[in-house]
Amino acid sequence: MIATITLNPSIDRGYSVKELKKNGVYRCGDYSLTAGGKGLNVSRVLNQLNVKIMCLGFLGGHSGEFIKSKLEDLDICVNFTKIASETRTCIGIVDHDDSQIEILEQGPQIYEYELKDFINKFQHILKQSKIIIASGSIPRGVNTDIYKYLINCSNQNNVKFILDSSGIPLIEGIKAGPYLIKPNKKELESIVKKKINTDLDIVEACESLINMGAKNVAVSLGKDGMIFVGEEGRYKVNIPKIEVLNPVGSGDSTVAGFGAGLLQKLDIKEILRLANACGMSNAMEKETGKINVKTVNELMKNIKIYKIR
């Protein structure tokens, strides 16, 4: 089983308007409402890949109930910690030429007894899991070294931990030795505090993250595929051109593919093929955190993996 951790989930509300203007008033008939948060995207993709999963994290109020019911509709098992405050809502407004505004709430306050409840659930689920995947930001009241703590627990139990976060929680987490981190190029630049131009720059940056503690680093590069540096070598993943509909959530889908491949004990090259095909398939769908398994299988045939010397 894979356990996913989403500490700061959200309801994502999306509006489409004609033209975004300062001081504009928009009347919208239609809008989208989805259970959002990077970890929930990972969970939905794992579910489509037929992987047995359990979702952990914090949910509160009506928004929390909505997210829980959306996941249960998909037969996804959940064991969230119920919190006193309301789960956040994030708003995205897009206009006809794809200009957009995003309003991201910081997230609810988590109280100490709620954090304790989450940790108890995590310790319990850890014993039944082969892999843990933690994604995204952390809500108020949770220490920035939370991922570091969870990774230490996982390593003590020989459970592989995949961390896809950013900022201080990611940097602190790396120090505990996660099995894998998956920054994109921008996130990599912000961790190593350097501009990255070439593949060699990426490899060097990955190596510095490995020196900090990460066991494997997969840098996703959008349409340019991926560079992987880790225990089983260094690889460049070349992907074919695709028709992109919505690339939001492609990184999360890639992480899900990686986790699924790892669970099946695939060879590293096959894992990289599956991970990238999941990211690509998500980019070809309108919905976030959605893949088409048939498309994934087709895409995998045309992904080329090269060893970097």
Binding site for ligand ADP (CB under 6 A): 184, 220-223, 225-226, 239, 242, 244, 247, 250-251, 254, 276, 279-280, 283
CB of 99 to ligand ADP, least distance (A): 19
Residue whose CB is less far from ligand ADP, 9 or 225: 225
Residue whose CB is less far from ligand ADP, 59 or 229: 229
Which burial class, exposed, middle or buried, applies to 252 when counting CB atoms under 10 A from its CB (0-12, 13-18, 19+)? Answer: buried
CB of 223 to ligand ADP, least distance (A): 4
Nearest Cα to 139, choosing from 192, 70, 72, 64? 64
- Ranges of beta strands (E only) in the chain are 2-6, 10-16, 31-36, 53-60, 77-78, 81-83, 88-94, 100-104, 131-135, 160-164, 180-181, 216-220, 226-230, 233-238, 304-307
Residue whose CB is less far from ligand ADP, 83 or 256: 256
Q: Please give the structure tokens belonging to residue 296.
A: 């994934």
CB of 165 to ligand ADP, least distance (A): 11
Give the span between the Cα atoms of 231 and 75, in whole angstroms: 35
Residue whose CB is less far from ligand ADP, 92 or 279: 279
CB of 271 to ligand ADP, least distance (A): 13
Residue whose CB is less far from ligand ADP, 56 or 280: 280
